[in-house]
Amino acid sequence: MQYSDKVLDHFMNPRNMGEIEDATTSGTVGNPVCGDIMKMDLKIVDNIIVDAKFKTFGCGSAIATSSMATEMIIGLTTDEALDVTNKAVAEALDGLPPVKMHCSVLAEQAVKKALESYYIREGLMTPERAKKFAILGQCEHEENYEHCGCSDE
């Protein structure tokens, strides 16, 4: 299995690992097939994600995608962060092996789970935002994916 230099760097030197004591919101997701679990804490001020930290129990790709996802969303508005996809995370890491794409799906799901909780708690959920949470518990299963465990297929 070939990993990019960026994947290896984010695995060996993860950014934003840990917890935020006074997090505005958190989201935890897992993959029952591979056993990966991700927890994402977000600190949101004036609708801007000012800090993001993660705790991931999983393989190197799971740690790397968590690390990259936090880097990508810090400084974004919550709606901008809601538009960050697993493919964008994988591309930012210069790609992932096909059998590890489920890790980028988990990173996207962890961010969205935290944002979903935030929007609901703050009374900010709208029909447009609600549509963007449809990926939770699902995966697009492109032809080169191995079964990722994201759905009941």
| CATH number, position 113 | 3.90.1010.10
Instruction: At 73, list the tokens.
Output: 């969303």
Q: Give the C-alpha separation, 3 to 6, whole Å.
A: 8
Residues identified as active-site:
34, 103
Q: Give the C-alpha separation, 107 to 125, whole Å.
A: 21
- 149 lies in a domain? no
The CB density around residue 60, as the number of other CB atoms within 10 Å, is 17
Identify the pLDDT of residue 121: 93
Identify the pLDDT of residue 152: 36
Is the pLDDT reported for residue 57 higher than 80? yes
Instruction: At 49, list the tokens.
Output: 């994600």
- 89 lies in a domain? yes
- 22 lies in a domain? yes
> pTM here?
0.85
Please give the tally of structural domains in the chain: 1
Per-residue pLDDT tens over the stretch 79-138: 999 999 999 999 999 999 988 988 999 999 999 999 999 999 999 988 888 878 764 444
Is the pLDDT reported for residue 142 higher than 70? no
- 120 lies in a domain? yes
Per-residue pLDDT tens over the stretch 1-22: 789 999 999 999 999 999 999 9
Is the pLDDT reported for residue 151 higher than 70? no
93: containing domain: 5-131
Identify the pLDDT of residue 110: 96
Q: Give the C-alpha separation, 22 to 111, whole Å.
A: 17
- 153 lies in a domain? no
- 105 lies in a domain? yes
End-to-end CA separation in angstroms for the chain: 26
